[in-house]
């Protein structure tokens, strides 16, 4: 654990008051502290979060995914501006564990959502960097809570639809929106079935010009595909719709569908139940990640595992025996600390 302290930090109350007074600069500083790997920052972040916690939860959390090229930025720009026109304050966060973004590309993020980045009612924050999806997802979820405490009433959490980060986004949002393109061949454009299964709404995007008929056909196709699958615990049947962000068509319908979802699930109790589950799961996920992190970061364990793998592949050692042996060694080292 690094003991040195980050420069220029204020007391927790400075950030807490700032967030509760909807000060965007102090919100940004608090998120930076949340993203930091310094031990002193971690403690400060924990204090801030603990204090603003009673002021969180008052937003609708929407996850948005789709493969690169599907037009996520233009969609978020159009959808976000629509929400702002209805009086919402919108925060846009992203999860992208592969990203090695520098401060420079925060500007990149803001450029690709030009109108939003100039709105006083929008807050755009790109993905934290980090080694593990678990770590990045944790940071994003905590940033989401800070944004809620700062008065943002809609949180859009964006992810790149090619990995495991969709599950992380799904685990922290109320509604999961999947962007797709028409006419990109028969396969689901690299989208895994498991991701389709999480979708509450599939939007066939770029449904404009010559693409309108293709998009309508794709809509039917995905509707049929969704019907093939079992229904959701929420009581909601996933919907498919078409939209064009450049023509600004279908964006209002998307918001109506999301409102219908919210009305239904608030009424049947699923909305709150789902959020409670998410919070509890978050604790257990953190516990289990931390148990694994402590184990795999142990230097004796690190040195031993490649040897065990070799012995297992050579059928010299059974996988279970290998596992129990190394757990035994691990517990011994811990008692001697």
> Interface residues with its own copies (CB under 8 A)?
46, 49-50, 53-54, 56-57, 138, 142, 145, 186-188, 190-194, 196-197, 221, 225, 227-231, 276, 279-280, 282-284, 286-288, 290-292, 294-295, 308-309, 312-313, 315-324, 326-327, 331, 334-335, 337
Smallest separation, CB 79 to its own copies (Å): 26
Nearest CB to its own copies, comparing residues 141 and 243:
141
- Identify the residue whose tokens are 């959701």: 232
Taking the C-alpha atoms of residue 190 and residue 161, their distance in angstroms, rounded to an integer, is 8
Nearest CB to its own copies, comparing residues 102 and 333:
333
Smallest separation, CB 56 to its own copies (Å): 7
What token pair was written down for 311? 């012995």
Nearest CB to its own copies, comparing residues 79 and 271:
271
Taking the C-alpha atoms of residue 87 and residue 301, their distance in angstroms, rounded to an integer, is 54
What token pair was written down for 6? 């980050």
Taking the C-alpha atoms of residue 20 and residue 12, their distance in angstroms, rounded to an integer, is 12
Order of strands, sheet of 90-95, starting from the edge strand that comes earlier in the sequence: 122-124, 90-95, 154-159, 60-65, 175-181, 201-205, 239-242
What token pair was written down for 221? 């196709």
CA angle, 282 then 287 then 292, to 5°: 125
Smallest separation, CB 84 to its own copies (Å): 27
Nearest CB to its own copies, comparing residues 18 and 238:
238
Taking the C-alpha atoms of residue 47 and residue 281, their distance in angstroms, rounded to an integer, is 21
Nearest CB to its own copies, comparing residues 37 and 292:
292
Nearest CB to its own copies, comparing residues 138 and 159:
138
Taking the C-alpha atoms of residue 30 and residue 158, their distance in angstroms, rounded to an integer, is 20
Q: Which of 143, 122, 123, 144 is nearest to 36 (CA)?
A: 143
Smallest separation, CB 256 to its own copies (Å): 26
What token pair was written down for 119? 């709105």
CA angle, 18 then 20 then 21, to 5°: 60
Cβ-proximal residues to 60 (8 Å cutoff; 6+ apart), any chain: 153, 154, 155, 174, 175, 258, 262
Smallest separation, CB 251 to its own copies (Å): 26
Nearest CB to its own copies, comparing residues 139 and 265:
139
Smallest separation, CB 230 to its own copies (Å): 6
Nearest CB to its own copies, comparing residues 9 and 192:
192
- Identify the residue whose tokens are 């944790």: 138
Q: Which of 104, 230, 95 is nearest to 172 (CA)?
A: 95
Smallest separation, CB 281 to its own copies (Å): 8
Smallest separation, CB 119 to its own copies (Å): 29
Q: Which of 204, 200, 171 is nearest to 188 (CA)?
A: 204
Nearest CB to its own copies, comparing residues 107 and 266:
266
Contact 33/126 with Cβ under 8 angstroms?
no
């Amino acid at each position: 654990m690094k003991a040195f302290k980050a420069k220029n930090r204020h007391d927790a109350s400075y950030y807490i008051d700032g967030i509760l007074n909807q000060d965007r600069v102090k919100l940004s500083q608090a998120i930076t502290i949340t993203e930091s790997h310094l031990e002193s920052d971690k403690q400060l972040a924990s204090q801030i979060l603990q204090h603003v916690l009673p002021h969180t939860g008052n937003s609708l959390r929407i996850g948005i995914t789709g493969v690169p090229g599907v037009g996520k930025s233009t969609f978020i720009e159009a959808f976000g501006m629509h929400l702002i026109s209805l009086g919402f304050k919108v925060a846009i966060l992203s999860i992208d564990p592969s990203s090695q973004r520098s401060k420079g590309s925060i500007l990149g993020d803001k450029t690709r959502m030009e109108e939003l980045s100039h709105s006083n009612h929008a807050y755009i924050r790109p993905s934290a960097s980090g080694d593990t999806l678990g770590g990045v997802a944790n940071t994003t979820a905590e940033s989401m809570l800070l944004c809620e405490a700062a008065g943002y009433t809609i949180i859009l959490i964006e992810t790149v639809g090619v990995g495991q980060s969709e599950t992380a986004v799904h685990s922290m949002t109320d509604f999961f929106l999947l962007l797709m393109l028409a006419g990109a061949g028969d396969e689901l454009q690299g989208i895994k079935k498991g991701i389709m299964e999480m979708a509450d709404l599939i939007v066939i995007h770029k449904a404009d010009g010559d693409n309108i008929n293709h998009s309508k056909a794709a809509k039917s196709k995905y509707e049929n595909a969704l019907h093939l699958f079992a229904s959701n615990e929420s009581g909601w049947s996933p919907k498919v719709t078409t939209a064009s962000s450049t023509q600004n068509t279908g964006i209002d319908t998307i918001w109506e569908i999301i409102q219908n979802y919210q009305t239904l699930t608030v009424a049947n109790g699923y909305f709150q139940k789902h959020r409670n589950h998410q919070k509890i799961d978050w604790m257990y996920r953190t516990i289990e990640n931390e148990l694994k992190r402590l184990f795999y970061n142990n230097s004796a364990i690190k040195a031993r595992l490649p040897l065990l793998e070799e012995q297992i592949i050579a059928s010299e050692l059974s996988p279970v025996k290998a596992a129990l042996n190394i757990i035994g060694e691990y517990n011994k080292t811990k008692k001697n600390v």
